[in-house]
Structure 1
Amino acid sequence: MFDREKVLAFCNSFSKENTLMATLEIEFIDAGPDFLKAQMPVTPKVHQPMGLLHGGATVALAESVGSAASLMFIDIEEREVRGIEISANHVKAKRSGIVYGTARIIHKGGTIHLWEIRVTDENDSLISLCKLTNMVLPRKR
């Protein structure tokens, strides 16, 4: 049975220190059997020189949430996940506030997971649409 609180606690625990997720202040905030959602504040820390949300920060949010989402479908004692391709279409600028990345599974194979990650703002307006391919590998001991 799916345990939302356990998934969120796990995702937030591995993102706490010395990670890009910690630097960008990404926090996992919601989960379901086929999705994972995280938020990231839009502050000057994630701006490009023109004062807008940097596309790279947006992609970092998307890859973080999509990669973590794949962990919901594997035995993490035996398998691990690697992002192997990501694409992003940035459709709206953002200067401040919060953006949310919601990853939803498109394909769940034994070795490949394909995710759509919608990055939206507080009004649920689309900021970026991303697609992430993860490879599932045996854990190296």
Structure 2
Amino acid sequence: MDLSDWDRFAAGGLDEKMGLELFELTPERARGRMPVQGNTQPFGLWHGGASCVLAESLASLAAVAAAGEGGTAYGVDINATHHAPARSGWVNGEATAIRIGGSLGTWEVILTDDHGQRLCTARVTCALRRPRRSA
């Protein structure tokens, strides 16, 4: 999967509902953003759960790219530390591979606001299911 494949996977899913815009997609790195508006908790701040959705979405998409054509991937672990709030604008995310192995991959995801202030640091591990090769 690459960036050109994104539209056929996004239709109707949580990423679409939350307004994910995807800018870059490779096994080693995925970049995207979500709007703060519509993704807040009752007090008007960016929701911590939205941080987890953005982090897991970016890492999982990179994981699918790492699994290769015909492969699949799914998240098995996420850890997120919230550093600062956001009240408006966009939350930008970048997932960078820490290690991509045969059956697991781990990505560090940094989320920032429009001014570059770090809002969240996450680590996401995904199971990779690569297609079986015929002999």
TM-score by length of 2: 0.90
| Superposition pairs of residues 104-119 of structure 1, within 5 angstroms | 104-119=96-111
Which residue identity does 1:61 align to in structure 2? L
TM-score by length of 1: 0.86
Match of 2:84, SS state, is coil
Query: Are 1:68 and 2:61 counterparts?
Result: yes
Q: Distance in 1 between matches of 2:58 and 2:43?
A: 26
Deviating above 3 A after TM superposition, structure 1's stretches of 4 or more consecutive aligned residues are none
Q: Distance in 2 between matches of 1:114 and 1:72?
A: 13
List per-residue Cα deviations over 1:36-73 (Å, max 9, x = no partner).
10110110x21101110000011101100100011222
**Would you say the 8 A contact 2:27–2:97 is kept in 1?**
no
State the 1:13 CA deviation. 3.2
State the 1:33 CA deviation. 6.2
Q: What is residue 35 of structure 1 aligned with on the other side?
A: 29
Change (3 A) 1:32 1:124: farther
- List gaps (5 residues or longer) in structure 1: 1-5
List per-residue Cα deviations over 1:65-105 (Å, max 9, x = no partner).
1000112222231x210100101000010011001110000
Q: What is residue 80 of structure 1 aligned with on the other side?
A: 72
Q: What is residue 3 of structure 1 aligned with on the other side?
A: none
**Would you say the 8 A contact 2:83–2:120 is kept in 1?**
yes
Match of 1:46, SS state, is coil
Q: What is residue 13 of structure 2 aligned with on the other side?
A: 19
Identity over aligned pairs, percent: 31
- List gaps (5 residues or longer) in structure 2: none
Q: Distance in 1 between matches of 2:50 and 2:116?
A: 18
State the 1:32 CA deviation. 5.3
* Residue among 44, 54, 57 paired with 2:47: 54
Q: Distance in 1 between matches of 2:99 and 2:7?
A: 24
Which residue identity does 2:18 align to in structure 1? L
Q: Distance in 2 between matches of 1:63 and 1:11?
A: 15
- How many residue pairs get matched? 131
